[in-house]
Amino acid sequence: MRYDVIVIGGGPGGYTAAIKAAQRGKNVCLIEKGALGGTCLNVGCIPTKVLLKSVGLLEEIRRSAEFGIKGVDVSAAGLDLHQLQERKKKVTKQLVGGVGALLRKNRVTVVEGSARFADAHTIITGDQSLEGETIIIASGSRSKNLPIEVSPAMPVYTSTEILSLEEFPKEMAVIGGGVIGMEMAAYLAGLGITVRIVEFLDRILPMVDREITEILTRQLEKKGVQIFTSAKVEKITDHSVVFAKDGGRSEAGCQAVLMAVGREADLSDLNLEAAGVRVARGSILTDDSMQTNVAGIYAVGDVNGRSMLAHTAFAEAETAVEQICGGKAKMDYGKIPSGIYLDPEIASVGLTEDQAAAKYGADGIRIGRFPMAANGKSKIEGREDGLIKIISEARYGEIVGAHLYCAHATDMIAELCLAMGLECTAEEVASLVHPHPTVSEAVQEACLAVDGRAVHI
């Protein structure tokens, strides 16, 4: 069979590319070896948030008396992990089914199987040989592992496996304080498990603004989560994770381990050499239009290792299809938001304070902060922890970074994405009327605070 476009992988990057190309009149085939929806829908964003929703709800129930609710036996409240798994399966199944329906509606041919390049325009899957004028690789990523000695008596899980567990031990160690490590640590702590996080760098969530990580670290420690930073893991024994720290050796006792030290591009079975596609540091190399070094071959989503986020994959898919259809599109990786589903949530776009100071000089930036304790809606919701921080460059006042650590942060960051996309100044955002009472007012206040004009602090 011959197609205009062959897409390898049915995750957010792959299915979006297939639908977009079909909408532009292309004859498209999508090849998927696992389930449609990829990591995000099956073992990533969506199932994680289903689990976190339940531990968040449980926490709210435990606080019910504070909100004047009586008759709830809080001491009996807990999670039915089997029921929770059923709910997770139901949500993911509906969304995966939705992707299948969208592909059908757009007349994309879906082939189940593993794709392998025979040459730059030929893909072998099962006993079929498919010809593609253009090929979009969207094969995603998989969990990384540490090359260390591991006792066979200690269960060591990836995030994929943790998401389906119905039984947990009393104590768990999490290796890696990145996004997966922290979201899973929040889930485990919410289940009542003693969590010990072991992070190689000097702080958890090293990609987040330092001030926010510091507040988060204090809050987690108050909740009983133990955090070991600047810790180099050496081995996993039958009862602990052993790590080097401050010139000595320590251990984090546990009965199971979550390995969350990052993800790497999934290039397995692709046989990229046959097409001559270049790989650097484990990921497929692309330019900002998502083209690889081989004409007609593109790579979108986690497999290019540029920003392993589902919404980046959506944008890259659109960019690649635009390019294939003769347009000129380029990704702007500097304005991609990120969200971390802790309680409260963290959401960011643009530069952290450290990055902005490095780029513009410490005197070249201005910072506005607004604490959530001074925001009416946050008080009403009983969610007073957190901070909104806006960073602008001093010369023109343009916003170059926004960091939200508050309830609804992952939804509210969209306003700052729009502002940064339009190159707005903090003053311009501050001049817009924000609704009251909302958490979003704190964004306006933080923008006012950039010039020392906040009203409620």
By CB under 6 A, residue 301 contacts ligand NAI: no
Binding mask 218-237 for ligand NAI (x = CB under 6 A): ---------------x----
What CA–CA distance (Å, rounded) separates 300 from 140? Answer: 8
By CB under 6 A, residue 339 contacts ligand NAI: yes
Interface stretch with ligand NAI, choices 59-67, 111-119, 197-205, 412-420 (CB under 6 A): 197-205
By CB under 6 A, residue 338 contacts ligand NAI: yes
Residue 444 CB, shortest distance to ligand NAI, in Å, is: 26
- Residue (3 or 405) nearer to ligand NAI, CB: 405
Interface stretch with ligand NAI, choices 80-88, 170-178, 348-356, 438-446 (CB under 6 A): 170-178
Count the Cβ atoms, other than its own, within 10 Å of residue 334.
Answer: 10
Interacting residue with ligand NAI among 32, 199, 209, 441 (CB under 6 A): 199
Residue 447 CB, shortest distance to ligand NAI, in Å, is: 25
Interacting residue with ligand NAI among 9, 10, 38, 178 (CB under 6 A): 178
Active site residues: 436
By CB under 6 A, residue 250 contacts ligand NAI: no
- Residue (168 or 200) nearer to ligand NAI, CB: 200
Interacting residue with ligand NAI among 177, 344, 350, 386 (CB under 6 A): 177
By CB under 6 A, residue 179 contacts ligand NAI: yes
Question: What is the β-pairing status of strands 226-228 and 232-236?
Answer: unpaired
Residue 222 CB, shortest distance to ligand NAI, in Å, is: 21
Interacting residue with ligand NAI among 176, 344, 371, 386 (CB under 6 A): 176
By CB under 6 A, residue 316 contacts ligand NAI: no
- Residue (38 or 339) nearer to ligand NAI, CB: 339
Backbone angles phi, psi at 250, to 5 degrees: -130, 175
**Are the C-beta atoms of residues 398 and 392 closer than 8 Å to each other?**
yes
Establish how many alpha carbons lie within 13 A of residue 179's alpha carbon, considering only the half-sphere containing its beta carbon. Answer: 20
- Residue (32 or 199) nearer to ligand NAI, CB: 199
* Paired tokens of 76: 């009996």
The CA distances from residue 447 to 348, 375, 430, in Å, are: 15, 14, 5
* Paired tokens of 429: 């955002």
Q: Which residues contact 372 (CB under 8 A, 6 or more apart)?
A: 344, 378, 383, 384, 385, 386, 387, 388, 405, 406, 407, 439, 442
By CB under 6 A, residue 208 contacts ligand NAI: no
**Are the C-beta atoms of residues 67 and 61 closer than 8 Å to each other?**
no
The CA distances from residue 24 to 5, 29, 317, in Å, are: 11, 14, 13
What CA–CA distance (Å, rounded) separates 322 from 363? Answer: 41
- Residue (29 or 261) nearer to ligand NAI, CB: 261
- The residue number with the shortest CB distance to ligand NAI is 178
Interface stretch with ligand NAI, choices 185-193, 261-269, 284-292, 325-333 (CB under 6 A): 261-269
Interface stretch with ligand NAI, choices 22-30, 255-263, 286-294, 352-360 (CB under 6 A): 255-263
User: Can you tell me whether residue 167 is helix, strand or coil?
Assistant: coil
- Secondary element (H or E) of residue 350: strand 345-350
By CB under 6 A, residue 260 contacts ligand NAI: yes
- Residue (176 or 350) nearer to ligand NAI, CB: 176
By CB under 6 A, residue 168 contacts ligand NAI: no
By CB under 6 A, residue 336 contacts ligand NAI: no
Binding mask 344-373 for ligand NAI (x = CB under 6 A): ------------------------------
Burial of 273 (0-12, 13-18, 19+ CB in 10 A): exposed
* Paired tokens of 451: 């010039």
Establish how many alpha carbons lie within 13 A of residue 151's alpha carbon, considering only the half-sphere containing its beta carbon. Answer: 15
Q: Which of 304, 277, 308 is nearest to 138 (CA)?
A: 304
Q: Which residues contact 445 (CB under 8 A, 6 or more apart)?
A: 368, 370, 374, 375, 388, 454, 455, 456, 457
By CB under 6 A, residue 300 contacts ligand NAI: no
User: Can you tell me whether residue 257 is helix, strand or coil?
Assistant: strand
Residue 387 CB, shortest distance to ligand NAI, in Å, is: 19
Kindly list the residues in this chain that would bind ligand NAI in the complex (CB under 6 A): 146, 175-181, 183, 198-201, 206, 233, 260-263, 308-309, 338-341
